[in-house]
Copies of this chain bind each other. A is one copy, B any other.
Amino acid sequence: MATRSIKEVARLARVSVGTVSNVLNRPEIVAPATRARVFDAIRELGFVRNEVARHLRVGRSRTVGLVVLDVANPFFADVAQGAEALADEHDTMVVLCNSGTDPNRERRHLDQLEQQRVMGILITPVDAGSPRLADLAARGTPVVLVDSAATGLQCSVAVDDRLGGQIAAAHLIERGHRRIAFVGGPPSIKQVADRRAGAAGAVEAAGGVELLDASMPMLSAAAGRAAGERVAALPPAERPTAALCANDLLALGFLQAMAACGLSVPGDMAIVGYDDIDFAAAAAVPLSSVRQPRELLGRTAVELLLEEVAHPERHRHRQVIFQPDLVVRESSALRRRD
């Protein structure tokens, strides 16, 4: 329970606290003999620098918060790994916070992170328009939006979701599908809305194709199963022949529902997912999916943040946008006779 402070180290080493601080921060300016004495004292006491006190003076910590919509979604795990990789190189710690698409939990996490004076926050917001984010930036905590485009008030890294939705829908249309279900999530989530808009665009451009909505209030596999059951229950004549899912968890759930309801994939129902998480390729029927550069997204977010922190004055907010691409697998392999 003994919490040692710099003062005790100083006493044991028979030097002043200033010297101990120097040993810790600029060892080269301390005489070797003194330095050795201080190190001995540190070892003997098991002293650990109190970052709390340190950053009180210094102002900000070397921690960045990454707030994600769902830790259970491997997409975010991969984004986190990308972020961690670059942060590590800059001696910075990434802490992962899970909002679970709940605005209240998101707010509490943001409060906590701001109160802790983290170096910056990377966030995939539940609601990108929330003034809370602008406030944060205004009060001095840099924010980078992840997987969601900003309006100029902050940096952002994103993937072109409209384009992703469009190529996915275009692919299904090209395969001969004329009734396509869009399986989305909560309407407040921007990514989902954009993917849907992209799909709608492709449908309109094609002509003679219908886009039905089968959205759920969540973006989980369980929600996907529920959506699948609903769609499977439709009379065959009205039932869509393809589903475009807003993420792979939904798609996997949807796929399971098809199997449970005795519909074949892709024969009776083609499926395209989104994110191309590793499990998509390993599914019962390997899933076609829109691939996003997941690690790169996280890595770039940290890059932008470090840039902003390093030169707050001359920094200009940037919006980086990556291109998605479609990976076609068995779940949408068949060509439908028109």
Contacts and interface: CB of A to CB of B under 8 A. Distances in A.
A111 B2 CA distance: 17
Interface in A224-279: 252-253, 255-256, 278-279
A50 B115 contact: yes
Interface in A77-98: 77-78, 80-81, 84, 88, 93-98
Contact of A312 (B1, B88, B281): B1
Interface in A90-118: 93-98, 100, 105, 108-109, 111-112, 114-117
A49 B56 CA distance: 12
Nearest to A251: B282
A28 interface: no
Most buried by B among A53, A61, A95, A253: A95
A335 B284 CA distance: 22
B98 A96 contact: yes
A49 B115 contact: yes
Interface residues of A, number: 61
Interface stretch (A10-18, A132-140, A211-219): A132-140
A48 B100 CA distance: 24
A283 interface: yes
B52 A71 contact: no
A93 to B, nearest CB: 5
A55 interface: yes
B77 A93 contact: no
A46 interface: yes
Nearest to A102: B88
Q: Please list the 7 inter-chain residue pairs (A to B) with the smallest Cβ-Cβ separation, ordered nearest first.
A: A51-B115, A96-B96, A95-B95, A72-B77, A71-B77, A279-B279, A93-B112
B80 A98 contact: yes
B286 A48 contact: no
A297 interface: no
A74 interface: yes
A121 to B, nearest CB: 13
A221 interface: yes
A105 B285 CA distance: 37
Contacts of A34: none
A63 interface: yes
A3 interface: yes
Nearest to A48: B114
A284 to B, nearest CB: 5
A172 B81 CA distance: 36
A253 B139 CA distance: 47
Contact of A135 (B46, B100, B255): B46
Contacts of A96: 71, 95-98
A283 B74 CA distance: 15
Nearest to A95: B95
19 contacts: A1-B140, A2-B139, A2-B140, A3-B139, A51-B116, A63-B116, A71-B71, A71-B77, A72-B77, A72-B78, A72-B81, A80-B98, A81-B98, A94-B98, A221-B282, A279-B279, A279-B282, A282-B284, A283-B284
